[in-house]
Chain A
């Protein structure tokens, strides 16, 4: 079974703090993705990575950065958290070629005060 894990289920941070969200997958997938999910807006792609040290902007990259130093690990960084970044953050991974199905982690619910 594919397993994608995220470092925290719930996180509370203060405005201006630097926030790290980590994601680890155990299926040797080349592609990894970060989404945020908000009521009424659905899932929106923040960043994705198709290889170690490679990254591409998604639809809403502003205020976020990412890091992928190892194939199995993809980090999302909020450089200076703001209240409008309160959301559910979801990580996913997929293989390159074949079905390319994205498999999701359990999510991190982030509250920025």
Chain B
């Protein structure tokens, strides 16, 4: 069974204090790993897709990396507007209909 575990569940940072969020996964062959950002009361917003170990993607203060067992979302010098819940999801190789298995998310709060 595919599993995704995100840690920590919640993280509080001061503005400018860099950190990383972790997404550990177990899947029978990975087609893709997805990161989303979700603001309270809204739908998830797509950030990145990673396909193979060693791949990295960046967007503003966010950088996502992938190994064979986990992915990290690095946040450099965060600002209060980066406060959100960050969701990780995996798509297995044998997913015929591009279904995703989601983790429960990390709630990030950045204080000014």
Interface residues of A (CB under 8 A from B): 4, 31, 33, 40-43, 45, 48, 50, 56, 58, 90, 92, 94, 96, 99-107, 109
Q: In B60-101, which residues have CB < 8 Å from any A CB?
A: 87, 91, 97-100
Q: Contact between A43 and B34 (Cβ–Cβ < 8 Å)?
A: no
- CA separation between A39 and B91, bound complex, in Å? 23
Q: Which of A31, A41, A105, A109 contacts B104 (CB 8 A)?
A: A41
Instruction: Closest A residue to B36 by CB, please name it.
Output: A104
Given the known interface contacts A42-B102, A43-B102, A58-B99, the answer about A100 and B43 at a Cβ–Cβ threshold of 8 Å is no
Q: Contact between B42 and A107 (Cβ–Cβ < 8 Å)?
A: yes
* Chain B nearest Cβ from A32, distance in angstroms: 10
- CA separation between A90 and B102, bound complex, in Å? 13
Q: Contact between A100 and B44 (Cβ–Cβ < 8 Å)?
A: no
Q: Which of A56, A105, A106 contacts B97 (CB 8 A)?
A: A56
Interface residues of B (CB under 8 A from A): 31-32, 34, 36, 41-46, 49, 87, 91, 97-100, 102-105
Given the known interface contacts A31-B97, A43-B87, A48-B97, the answer about A107 and B104 at a Cβ–Cβ threshold of 8 Å is no
- CA separation between A99 and B98, bound complex, in Å? 9
Q: Contact between B105 and A31 (Cβ–Cβ < 8 Å)?
A: no
Q: Contact between B43 and A104 (Cβ–Cβ < 8 Å)?
A: yes
- CA separation between A50 and B97, bound complex, in Å? 7
Q: Which of A31, A40, A58, A107 contacts B98 (CB 8 A)?
A: A31
Q: Contact between B102 and A100 (Cβ–Cβ < 8 Å)?
A: no
- CA separation between A107 and B13, bound complex, in Å? 28
* Chain A nearest Cβ from B20, distance in angstroms: 20
